C-alpha cells in the first residue's frame, strides 16, 4: 500500500511540475509594418528576434503577414519584442484575430 501511495505522490508531483512549465510560456502573434516582402525579410526577423531573452520559437508567415513568437513570459514580454522589432526597422501591432 505504501508503494502505491508513493507512486501516486510522484505522479502528482510530476503533473504539477508539468503544469507549471506549461504556464511559463506564452504566444504572441504580431503584424509587422512595413510589410514583409520576401524571404530576406523573414530571415532578418528570425535571426534578430531570436535573441530576445526567453524566445522559444518564431514562425513567420509571409502570405499572412504575421510573426508568431512562443516565449517564456517570465523572461520577456510584448515590450521586449516591440523594442527588438524597432531595432531592425519594423513597428508591430497584435495581429487581428481570425474569424
Q: What's the predicted TM-score (pTM) here?
A: 0.74
* Residue whose entry in the numeric block shows the C-alpha cell 535571426: 47
Is residue 72 a part of any domain in this protein? yes
pLDDT at residue 14 in the model:
59
Peptide bond into 14 cis (omega under 30): no
Is residue 62 a part of any domain in this protein? yes
- Give the CATH number of the domain where residue 81 resides: 3.30.70.100
Is residue 35 a part of any domain in this protein? yes
Please state the domain count of the chain.
Answer: 1
Instruction: Provide mean pLDDT across the span 62-89.
Output: 96
Residue 96 pLDDT class (50, 70, 90 cuts):
confident
Is residue 43 a part of any domain in this protein? yes
Instruction: Provide mean pLDDT across the span 43-55.
Output: 97
Domain that holds residue 31: 24-94
* Residue whose entry in the numeric block shows the C-alpha cell 484575430: 97
d(CA 43, CA 45): 5
**Which residues neighbour 94 within 8 Å (Cβ) at sequence distance 6 or greater?**
28, 29, 30, 31
Is residue 4 a part of any domain in this protein? no
Amino acid at each position: 500500500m505504501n508503494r502505491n501511495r508513493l507512486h501516486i505522490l510522484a505522479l502528482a508531483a510530476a503533473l504539477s511540475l508539468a503544469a507549471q512549465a506549461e504556464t511559463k510560456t506564452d504566444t504572441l502573434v504580431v503584424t509587422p509594418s512595413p510589410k514583409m516582402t520576401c524571404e530576406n525579410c523573414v530571415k532578418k526577423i528570425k535571426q534578430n528576434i531570436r535573441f530576445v531573452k526567453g524566445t522559444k520559437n518564431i514562425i513567420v508567415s509571409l502570405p499572412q503577414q504575421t510573426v508568431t513568437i512562443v516565449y517564456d513570459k517570465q523572461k520577456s514580454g510584448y515590450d521586449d519584442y516591440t523594442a527588438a522589432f524597432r531595432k531592425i526597422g519594423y513597428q508591430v501591432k497584435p495581429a487581428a484575430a481570425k474569424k
